[in-house]
Amino acid sequence: MTSPVTWEPIATDGAARRGRLHTPHGSVETPAFMPVGTRGVVRAVDADDLTEVGAQIVLANTYHLMLRPGASQVAALGGLHRFAGWDRPILTDSGGYQIYSLEPAIDEEGAVFRSTYDGSEVRLTPEDAVAVQELLGPDIAMVLDVCVGLPAPRKVVRAAMERTLRWTERAIAVHRRADQALFGIVQGGVDPELRQESARRTADLGLPGFGIGGLSVGEEPDERDRALEAVTAELPSDKVRYVMGLGDAEGILAAIARGVDLFDCVWPTRLARHGRVLTPDGDYNLRRAEYAADPAPLDPECPCRTCRRYSRAYLRHLLMVGEMTALRLVTVHNLTYTFRLVAGARTAVEEGRFADYRAEVVERRIRRGDAER
């Protein structure tokens, strides 16, 4: 059966790739960053904000939406696109991250959680994860996987990898929705041999795209990079590759350099809610007293609505008095920064200068670092 989601290569520069991901709700220029809308909304902003700042695709979470408001209710209201007022592509995480973060009881059948909302017992199996995502109706659904925190013993990492492969086969067996693609997830920790094996065996299942899970969970950057190199060497070159949970500038560029196409993370939005501002010259804490009378925008080079209109002094004032508008305005800026970063990477790959682009971005951020300006 032809997949409703395909990836079209456009250009390469070394291992870095420039492409276009085609989905039932439109195309996504890659490399691309997906803001995280766990409960069907990216915190502090709405669909119009996301469109304005350049979001092409968003991520939502199976576990949370199946609990509140419930997948059947979302389906009855027209599916997640209509429910959330977002007519562009959506990818849903399967709940695998919650297996890592909420530490449920896990057996071969699935995972048993306590609801984060009312404490009731919730069972999630690979088949359940598929059924919920078919009701939600995203363009891309993910298989349920087992993610372990790092460092971890090799036998623990292998067991999680093997179980993820078995769960992937079960997910494939029950997935029926023709207008939705099901992606596999590569595990294996930071062990290159396990990563290669997981990537090879997952690729052999013939899925239309691949998540790379089990990273950003305690490993060092060089460990992550070696794991990515092992994975991308084994995955098909004509299918999209997605690193799950990676969102910092240096990490995104390192992954693009190794042939990755998609990213998601709460990084830019979570930092915004804490008053942390992303800029090409490093990140800074807007709550610091030195910004109380600063008339400059958050970033003089940024074209976002926030930077065009408001000063650091005003935005700091809003943060310090607890005004919710501050969260929205800083989130708009941080997302704009992230989307401009990946847009620059796309252009650089097309022009054959990605290595120089990456070096310039990293050097400029290191020069000012995370120093509080």
pLDDT in tens, 134-177: 999 999 999 999 999 999 999 999 999 999 999 999 999 999 99
**Residues 187, 232 contacting (CB under 8 angstroms):** no
pLDDT per residue over 170-222, tens digit each? 999 999 999 999 999 999 999 999 999 999 999 999 999 999 999 999 999 99
Band of residue 368 on the pLDDT scale cut at 50, 70, 90 = low
CA distance 157 to 219: 13
Average pLDDT on 222-235 reads 98
Query: In order of start, what are the domains of the chain with their CATH numbers?
Result: 6-265 (3.20.20.105), 272-368 (no CATH)
For the chain, give the mean pLDDT.
96
Average pLDDT on 275-281 reads 98
Average pLDDT on 289-310 reads 98
3-state secondary structure of 208: coil
Q: Which amino acid is at 271?
A: L
User: 324-350 and 354-368 are packed helices; what angle lies between their axes, rounded to 10 degrees?
Assistant: 140
Residue 20 region, left (φ>0) first, then alpha (ψ -120 to 50), else beta? beta
Whether residue 24 has a cis bond before it, omega within 30° of 0: no
User: What integer pLDDT is reported at residue 103 of this predicted model?
Assistant: 86
Distance of CA 88 to the CA centre of its chain: 16
User: What integer pLDDT is reported at residue 267 of this predicted model?
Assistant: 96
CA distance 242 to 246: 9
User: What integer pLDDT is reported at residue 129 of this predicted model?
Assistant: 97
CA distance 245 to 316: 29
Residues in contact with 56: Cβ distance below 8 Å, sequence separation at least 6, in sequence order? 26, 28, 29, 32, 88, 89
**Residues 297, 307 contacting (CB under 8 angstroms):** yes
Hey, how many other C-beta atoms are within 10 angstroms of the C-beta on 123? 12
User: What integer pLDDT is reported at residue 119 of this predicted model?
Assistant: 92
pLDDT at 373 over 60: no
**Residues 36, 269 contacting (CB under 8 angstroms):** yes
User: What integer pLDDT is reported at residue 100 of this predicted model?
Assistant: 84
3-state secondary structure of 168: helix
Nearest residue to 91 (alpha-carbon basis) of 114, 120, 127, 65: 65
CA distance 373 to 40: 35
Nearest residue to 215 (alpha-carbon basis) of 248, 244, 251, 192: 244
Catalytic annotation, residues: 93, 264
User: What integer pLDDT is reported at residue 370 of this predicted model?
Assistant: 45
pLDDT at 365 over 70: yes
Nearest residue to 345 (alpha-carbon basis) of 7, 29, 31, 12: 31
With pLDDT > 70 as the criterion, what percentage of the chain qualifies? Answer: 98
User: What integer pLDDT is reported at residue 97 of this predicted model?
Assistant: 85
User: What integer pLDDT is reported at residue 372 of this predicted model?
Assistant: 43
Bridge partners, residue 36, by sequence: 59
Largest CA distance in the chain: 61
**Residue 55: C-alpha distances to residues 110, 314, 343, 348 (Å):** 33, 26, 11, 19
User: What integer pLDDT is reported at residue 99 of this predicted model?
Assistant: 81
End-to-end Cα distance, the chain: 55
CA distance 34 to 302: 20
Residues in contact with 280: Cβ distance below 8 Å, sequence separation at least 6, in sequence order? 299, 301, 337, 361, 364, 365
**Residues 163, 111 contacting (CB under 8 angstroms):** no
User: What integer pLDDT is reported at residue 95 of this predicted model?
Assistant: 87
With pLDDT > 90 as the criterion, what percentage of the chain qualifies? Answer: 94
